[in-house]
Amino acid sequence: MAATAAILFLVYLFNLSSGYVLIDDNENLDEILTLPSEYSIKAERIDLIADLKLPMELWYSTEINRSRVDVYDGMVKRYYYWGEDGAMGSDGTVYMAYPKWTEKEGHTIFCSKTDMYQETPVDAFPAEEEYVYADDMYIASFTRGFIFEQWLPTSGSDIERCRQVLQYLIQMVPNAENVDTSKTYHEGQTVDVWKFTEDDDDTRKELVLYSHRTERGEDVPVQIEKKEFNTMLGSLEKHVIFNYDQFNPLFCEEDVDAEKEGLCEWTPDDFEGHMKMLHPAFHNDLGVAFNSFKKHHARNYQNKKEHDMRRDIFHKNWKFVVDHNRQNLGFKLALNHLSDLTPAERAHMSGGRRSPNPSATVPFPHSERQVGDIVTQIPEEYDMRLQGIISPVKNQDKCGSCWTFATAAAVEGALARLDGRILDLSEQSIIDCTWEGVCEGCNGGWPKEALKHIMKHGIPLEEDYGGYLNENGYCHLENVTEVFKIRGFTLVTPLSVSAMKVALYKYGPVIVTIQNNDAFNFYRSGVFYDPTCVDDYVGHAITIVGYGSRDGTDYWIVKNSYGEQWGEDGYMLLSSSNNNCFVLDEPYYPVV
């Protein structure tokens, strides 16, 4: 019992996991990481944060510039060819074979291919340029086959103390008497330890690679552990382990021949087509995907540091999208032009704020009882887009001007209901000229204040005032000959679904401010419902242009200001249940 207590105390003292502990001095070893250039190997990717395990088999050859990745025992196969001209003269071609089911034919294997833009081959091993051989004292413990590590000072007294402790612990572990404490072992074989660390702003990335040196002088990884920390919050945000097994240096060209999958059809040479062929679990697919993203969105970064930062953000969002879509929650997400932005940059775009004292110049004209009567007489579904009174979707870009776009869209719709004309009003004029009180242009503002401004000063056409700048500009309303004013604005009865439907059918569009998050930012299709929305001061202003129902779920039709590439051609179907994301807290419509 005393021995057990001593062991537990020592394990606690050194913050080590359960199991036996070994020291690796690794003297007189070649400190250059030499990864194999041709091989086949089996692997599993374990995401400890998402609790997901992905079995893989990989083939790789720099001799013939080809590689292949299978997942789930070959259920899905990807072939990568470099140096072959694709349909658009790209760096190569990626082929993907996967099962497809139809009621007529049942399961068949479908093969598609697309151009690939990446200069280096897809390798199973992530080779960081700055891997450092671990020549400091290294403590490794093994728990359920996973390796956890802790670096200790290497002063003489500490080394001797650790050796004594470790020797004692090893004596207490059955069948460990023949273990050499001068080496690190994994799965019964001696391994070398390599480490890569990178600090960038509030993120710290750590990679540890455990490799076995072959008689050919190649370092074959047996495990790679990746961790990513948010140093500001002190949280572990990413923890992935790759376990490798059954390494084979012999390579058969037939194994990477995509032609055996049959006739492969070309998919569109665009970002969306590429993303159907790739997966965020494969670290080398990241290079292909990010290059396609940069080309599609015309991204040019200042330097390598920013490039790598944007790539890591893109990768994190890609995994978020894939993990969400596999849950089948009723709506789908997709990567878009926001995928490489930091959370702070996306939050800056959400510049719509709710007033602490909601008020209006024109009272809502219906009592709760009247609303109950009217809502039974109006259509069950109503879409203003079908009435020809909604202007095209616009893109606010990185300026936090959503409050101006939502307001201008509502005024455009109200004026179109009046005389049938669809006007293109100037959001830039609201940014430049509405600085009374709390509004701060691209730093955010209140739709209510924008409505007050249009009541008093009016809003001009964009062609008269000048185009959207995506920046704060000089107010020059005095140079515009014609402006459009509203008589006032109305606050729809808050938290009332029926009142909102009545307002939309009789008076809309309606401006609302919601709490948006990553799921909202990457929305693609379906009825959006997110119970994780948090009611804080940051919000996003949108315009509601109708309502409807799909598969028994009621929704609002949202016109957003992220461009037509976002959502369903710039629109979202937002669930009307449970005041989702606080959509009914403060709804306004302009009175013309």
Buried b / exposed e across 229-251, counting CB within 10 Å, b at 16+? beeeeeeeebbbbbbbeebeeeb
pLDDT tens-digit series, residues 516-534 = 888 999 999 999 999 888 7
What count of other Cβ atoms lies within 10 Å of the Cβ of residue 65?
15
How far apart are the C-alpha atoms of 49 and 46, rounded to whole Å? Answer: 9
pLDDT tens-digit series, residues 370-428 = 999 999 999 999 999 999 999 999 999 989 999 999 999 999 999 999 999 999 999 99
Across-strand partners of 235?
230
Domain contains 511: yes
Domain contains 584: yes
pLDDT tens-digit series, residues 84-143 = 655 444 678 888 888 887 777 788 888 888 777 665 556 677 665 567 887 443 433 333
Domain residues for 364?
345-591
- Are 217 and 363 in a shared domain? no
Catalytic residues: 402, 540, 560
pLDDT of residue 85: 57
Calculated CA dihedral for residues 30, 31, 35, 37, nearest 10 degrees: -60
Distances (CA, A) of 181 to 59, 90, 103, 350: 35, 52, 61, 57
- Are 349 and 244 in a shared domain? no
- Are 506 and 386 in a shared domain? yes
Domain boundary among 248, 273, 298: 248
In this prediction the pTM is 0.69
> For position 376, which CATH number holds?
3.90.70.10
pLDDT of residue 144: 29
Across-strand partners of 59?
40, 68
Instruction: Indicate the helix (H) or strand (E) that contains 267.
Output: none
Task: Note every long-range contact of 195-198, with CB atoms under 8 Å and residues 24 or more positions apart, other chains counting.
Answer: 195/131, 195/132, 195/134, 196/128, 196/130, 196/131, 196/132, 198/130
pLDDT of residue 536: 64
Q: Which residue has the higher pLDDT, 504 or 240?
A: 504
Domain contains 286: no
Nearest in space to 465 (alpha carbons), one of 455, 478, 454:
478
Where helices occur in 441-517 by DSSP H, the ranges are: 447-457, 462-465, 497-506
260 residue type, one letter: K
Q: How many CA atoms lie within 13 A of 549 on its CB side?
A: 8
3-class SS shares of the chain: helix, strand, coil, % to 5: 25, 30, 40
- Angle of the 402-419 helix axis to the 447-457 helix axis, nearest 10: 50
Instruction: Indicate the helix (H) or strand (E) that contains 412.
Output: helix 402-419
3-state SS assignment for residue 413: helix
Domain contains 321: no
Question: Would you say residue 24 has pLDDT above 70?
Answer: no
Nearest in space to 447 (alpha carbons), one of 561, 564, 572:
561
Peptide bond into 36 cis (omega under 30): no
- Are 242 and 350 in a shared domain? no
- Are 460 and 355 in a shared domain? yes
Domain contains 243: yes
Q: What is the mean pLDDT of residues 138-167?
A: 41
- Are 352 and 243 in a shared domain? no
- Are 218 and 359 in a shared domain? no
pLDDT of residue 535: 66
At 348, the pLDDT band (50, 70, 90 cuts) reads: confident
How far apart are the C-alpha atoms of 544 and 573, rounded to whole Å? Answer: 10
Percentage of the chain with pLDDT > 90?
Answer: 42
How far apart are the C-alpha atoms of 529 and 581, rounded to whole Å? Answer: 8
3-state SS assignment for residue 161: helix
Work out the mean pLDDT of the chain and round it to a whole number.
Answer: 81
- Are 236 and 356 in a shared domain? no
Domain boundary among 217, 248, 279: 248
Q: In the 8-state DSSP scheme, what is residue 425? A: B
Domain count, the chain: 2
Domain contains 275: no
Domain contains 23: yes
- Are 236 and 355 in a shared domain? no
How far apart are the C-alpha atoms of 81 and 495, rounded to whole Å? Answer: 56
How many Å separate Cα 34 from the centre of its chain? Answer: 33
- Read off the tokens for 351: 């510049």
- Are 204 and 349 in a shared domain? no
Q: Which residue has the higher pLDDT, 251 or 579?
A: 579
pLDDT of residue 127: 64
pLDDT of residue 177: 41
How many Å separate Cα 306 from the centre of its chain? Answer: 17
Domain boundary among 191, 220, 248: 248
- Are 506 and 394 in a shared domain? yes
- Are 546 and 410 in a shared domain? yes
Domain contains 505: yes
- Read off the tokens for 383: 């879409």
